[in-house]
Structure 1
Amino acid sequence: MSEKNIELVRRSYEFYNSGDWDSLLDTFSPDVEVWPAPGFPEGGPFRGREEVRRFYEGLGEGWKPGAMVVPQELLGVGDKVLVAFEWRGVGELSGIEVTSAWSSVVTVRDGQIARADYFADRDAAITAAGLNKAAGREPGRGGPTYSSAGVDYGALDAGKRNALTEALATSHLLSSRGGSAVEESRGEPAFVFQFGGQTFAFVIEGLGTKSIIAGQVLEDLGENRFADVAYDTVAAIVNDLCCVGALPLVVNAYFATGTSDWYAHSDRQSELLSGWRAACEDAGATWGGGESPSLPELVSVPEIELAGSAVGVVPDGKQAILGSELASGDQIVFVASSGLHANGSSLARLIAGRLPDGYGARLPGGRTFGQALLDRSVIYARLVEALITSDVPVHYLSHITGHGLLKLMRPARDLTYRITSLPEVPEVLEFLVEQAEMSPSAAYCTFNMGCGYAVYCPPGAGQEVVDIAGRLKLGAHVAGVVEDGPRRVILEPNGVTYDADALDLTPRRTP
């Protein structure tokens, strides 16, 4: 029932944004009540369809056309739907773009919205919905979430978009050196630019908190896995770079520590450097150098932050892959991951802290939790090279990391990505999902869930992509298709749908 309620509420937002008042009112019961947030200037409550219509119509006053409500999260519990949303609009007189965060609790009865309560404070909405405040879940489940682990993608994505907006203003400086920015790459995994008749790509990426896991596994289990987290860092860098059809040329390292004493442990340092070199060799990239600052207070004393950058080149005669050729009917091929990869470490650490045996907890297959978390990521550079030098047209490439399968709709296109076959989920990810008590909707937008890379190709070409991956000993299968329709991801096997508003990494463009 909660899925039907969520779909009803989602449609009501669509009707509001399109100005289809009659259809919006049809989603409400005749005796509907709307309670604005405390202190809201319009007062309230508003009862009955006509009062509610006047309330919603009045919300657009003082804003330029196009102001809208953008749902960020919809969670159903019983007869209620908790909605976290943003109000986005441009002031009619000021011309200033405004984005503000709100929450609501919508009560559904007999297939219609009977009541809507609005809150400026999300915790108040969670309490009103009867959810556990700390976890945002049904009482008694208590599983940790990624946000409770300190990672709020809503805030992170907003920061990225703001930075990209400022970056756009500097594009002309590249032309003063004889180059040109490929603006369509803004918001893609790597920035693309042209210089000297060639097309290059540049990226910077970090590992996140996975190096903390390596340190704790060394301390608790006596296993030195710093080679593996170094490898993971390079994988995160070059896999993003390759998404735009560029092959890595040079990778630089960034090793930041809380104290230079970190390097006093020669075995730990040796593993770190050997893993970085091995990853560069597997990616076909030169290790150019890097930086290794000691940052007391900024970085915790026992830890090391791993990050880096890379420059790549699009082969002669090829174009950067930015999604412009994506079309209805294109096939989507999933290429297997090896496990956690570089995303989800903060939540994994939170879960380890809740387990009696910590990283020594045994998975059903017999390995420890810590061992499985540190399985090396897959580097897909050789696959991308094989694809773009073959006769298979590649219309888009997506590195499935943060945001999980939401990344399938990274292209800024009004297309639907329908997945009909999901990959086998690595044991360590199944364990994480179980321990965190995550719903399929939450799991598949947090972890890669067995898909490390997605390749989009013309109809009928999917099997050839699978064959090429197989020759490189990479598991792959044709997972779905691109369709005409609204921008969204549909995961048919588990009934999950992610709408366009769940992921937007493009620059903000004000009128």
Structure 2
Amino acid sequence: MTYKEAGVNVEEGQRAVELMKKHVKGTFNQHVLDDIGGFGGLFALDVKGMKEPILVSGTDGVGTKLKLAFLLDKHDTIGQDCVAMCINDILCQGAKPLFFLDYIATGKLKAEKVADIVKGIADGCQIAKAPLIGGETAEMPGFYQDGEYDIAGFAVGIVDKSQVITGKDIEDGDIILGLVSSGLHSNGYSLARKVLLERENYSLDTYIEDLGKTLGEELITPTKIYVKAVMEVLKQVKIKGIAHITGGGFYENVPRILPQELDAEVQLQSWPIPEIFNIIRSVGNVEEEEMYKTFNMGIGMMLVISEKDKEKALTVLKEAGESAYEIGKIIKGKRQVVLCQE
């Protein structure tokens, strides 16, 4: 027998590499030293101007949002979600992204589909200005259902030790700014699919007037990458804490940056909630606490700053093309989130 007869098509894998090369090379910058195909990615680290450079790393996947890509047979954006989930995480500690790597595993490799996935990853890397310097595509017959795959990403960034954002400087009276999300991002899809596709039997092709698009178009919208806006703010304003609102919503992510004796008081009417969340809450009869525990509710990232820096930060964010709102403040408490009605 041959490897191909066992289900692994090496030639198709090589063809996939050829198809993805143009996307990958489009992310390269002067720090990338090798071409595609080496055993490791080479990156020339520039630490000029830093006294104590610290590397910050992160890894993540996309979760069950992949099911939407399978159902829609649309694979050229899901890679951006993978990049965003990793890059936005290391951004929380003030790290400037250096490079990114990916891992794609599938049951039966189809070169065009893999190239589409990598295109989405490359698009995300270009937004984040993080070269895609390496990756792996694994064909694993019998391990995944036909047409399905999984992807994971690995990001590395750098920050001077004195500039690492930990949340330790957050104090009573500080302001919370919320950066808007592009929708569900990459979290809560198990609940969203259960409510919308199973309980209500919505079709992904259904045009929903309140969304201004089909349900499928809304649910497949890529996760936003906040590098440009946050890096601009860091140049001009001291950011004391950054929270990436991912799995666990407000309740799990925000306390991670709070000192023990402080709470984050969030005003619920201070930003516009995207309609998709209202639809899920309504048709699924989902309680408010569960919504804020599961979804980002329209806020993909939070920045904690001094009140004196509020106007400057909002101006910089707007100039960087980011929509942001003052959504709350820091108060004395027990390291938790308090949701308030105005």
TM-score (norm 2): 0.79
Task: Please say which structure displays the higher CA radius of gyration.
Answer: 1
Provide the C-alpha distance between the structure 2 equivalents of 1:480 and 1:319, rounded to a whole number of angstroms: 24
Structure 2 vs 1, CA of residues 271 and 324 (structure 1 numbering), >3 Å: closer, same or farther? same
Which residue in 2 is equivalent to 1:443? 291
Provide the C-alpha distance between the structure 2 equivalents of 1:317 and 1:356, rounded to a whole number of angstroms: 51
TM-score (norm 1): 0.54
Q: Which has the higher contact order (CA 8 A, sep 6+)?
A: 2
Structure 2 vs 1, CA of residues 389 and 429 (structure 1 numbering), >3 Å: closer, same or farther? same
Task: Look up the SS of the partner of 2:264 in the other structure.
Answer: strand
Deviation at 1:454, TM superposition (A): 0.1
Task: Look up the SS of the partner of 2:138 in the other structure.
Answer: coil
Of 302, 320, 329 in structure 2, the residue corresponding to residue 454 of structure 1 is: 302
Provide the C-alpha distance between the structure 2 equivalents of 1:197 and 1:490, rounded to a whole number of angstroms: 37
Contact between 2:270 and 2:325, CA under 8 Å: does it hold in 1? Answer: no
CA offsets, 1:65-84, max 9 Å, x none?
xxxxxxxxxxxxxxxxxxxx
Contact between 1:363 and 1:428, CA under 8 Å: does it hold in 2? Answer: no
Amino acid at match of 1:202: S
Which residue in 2 is equivalent to 1:199? 54
Contact between 2:54 and 2:161, CA under 8 Å: does it hold in 1? Answer: no
In the alignment, is residue 339 of structure 1 matched against residue 183 of structure 2? yes
Contact between 1:463 and 1:478, CA under 8 Å: does it hold in 2? Answer: no
In the alignment, is residue 386 of structure 1 matched against residue 232 of structure 2? yes
Contact between 2:249 and 2:293, CA under 8 Å: does it hold in 1? Answer: yes
CA offsets, 1:322-369, max 9 Å, x none?
111111111100010010101012222223133334222332334211
Aligned pairs (5 A) from 1:317-336: 318-336=162-180
Contact between 1:423 and 1:449, CA under 8 Å: does it hold in 2? Answer: no
CA offsets, 1:367-411, max 9 Å, x none?
211110011211001122112222x11100000111111122222
Task: Look up the SS of the partner of 2:179 in the other structure.
Answer: strand
Provide the C-alpha distance between the structure 2 equivalents of 1:349 and 1:317, rounded to a whole number of angstroms: 42
Provide the C-alpha distance between the structure 2 equivalents of 1:357 and 1:478, rounded to a whole number of angstroms: 35
Aligned pairs (5 A) from 1:103-502: 197-218=52-73, 224=74, 226-260=75-109, 263-264=110-111, 266=112, 268-314=113-159, 316=160, 318-351=162-195, 352-365=197-210, 366-390=212-236, 392-406=237-251, 407-411=253-257, 413-414=259-260, 415-420=262-267, 421-493=269-341
Amino acid at match of 2:83: V
Structure 2 vs 1, CA of residues 345 and 296 (structure 1 numbering), >3 Å: closer, same or farther? farther
CA offsets, 1:239-285, max 9 Å, x none?
0010011011010011111222xx24x2x333222211111011010
Task: Look up the SS of the partner of 1:227 in the other structure.
Answer: coil
CA offsets, 1:287-324, max 9 Å, x none?
0111111234443332111111011001x474210111
Provide the C-alpha distance between the structure 1 equivalents of 2:145 and 2:301, rounded to a whole number of angstroms: 33
CA offsets, 1:153-177, max 9 Å, x none?
xxxxxxxxxxxxxxxxxxxxxxxxx
Amino acid at match of 1:213: L
Which residue in 2 is equivalent to 1:107? none
Provide the C-alpha distance between the structure 1 equivalents of 2:59 and 2:120, rounded to a whole number of angstroms: 19
Which residue in 1 is equivalent to 2:30? none
Amino acid at match of 1:338: S
Provide the C-alpha distance between the structure 1 equivalents of 2:275 and 2:83, rounded to a whole number of angstroms: 24
Provide the C-alpha distance between the structure 1 equivalents of 2:102 and 2:124, rounded to a whole number of angstroms: 12
Structure 2 vs 1, CA of residues 317 and 487 (structure 1 numbering), >3 Å: closer, same or farther? closer
How many residues are treated as equivalent by the alignment?
Answer: 288
Provide the C-alpha distance between the structure 1 equivalents of 2:270 and 2:249, rounded to a whole number of angstroms: 13
Provide the C-alpha distance between the structure 1 equivalents of 2:162 and 2:209, rounded to a whole number of angstroms: 46
RMSD: 1.9
CA offsets, 1:457-488, max 9 Å, x none?
11221222221111122110111110112222
Which residue in 2 is equivalent to 1:111? none
Q: Where does structure 1 lack aligned partners over 5 or more consecutive residues?
A: 1-194, 219-223, 495-511
Q: Where does structure 2 lack aligned partners over 5 or more consecutive residues?
A: 1-49
Q: Percent identity, please.
A: 29
